[in-house]
Amino acid sequence: MSIKGQFFCSVELKDNEIILAGEHREQNQGESVHRQFCRRVLIPEGIQKESIKCKLHAGRLCITGMKTTGVGKRSIPIVVKKAVEQ
């Protein structure tokens, strides 16, 4: 698929969501076309916001992020004391 004319796309991170926006303008023989979109996607729990990356390859936009390890979870050791015999 080829896109003629001007196409602009942006990806922003705001609070707990990713905002995708795009706009396409084309003018041909006195006719013009203008399209735009905006989509908001919530970031799943356990994703490191600092690790979010965006790639555009062959017309496909891919957004990835790393999972955090052990969010709010840790092992607690159990201390066993022997009972004192009398």
One pLDDT digit (tens) per residue for the chain, 86 residues: 445 567 788 999 999 999 999 998 888 888 998 999 999 999 998 898 999 999 888 878 889 999 887 656 677 788 887 877 76
Q: What is the pLDDT of residue 1?
A: 42
- Record the tokens describing residue 77, joined without a space: 């050791």
Using CA atoms, how far residue 5 sits from 25, 28, 49, in Å, is: 6, 9, 34
What DSSP element (H or E) covers 20?
strand 17-28
- The C-alpha atoms of residue 56 and residue 39 are separated, in whole angstroms, by 17
Class for the domain spanning 6-64: mainly beta
Name 41's bridge partners. 18
Q: What is the pLDDT of residue 70?
A: 64
**Within a 13 Å sphere around the CA of 11, how many CA atoms are in the beta-carbon half?**
11
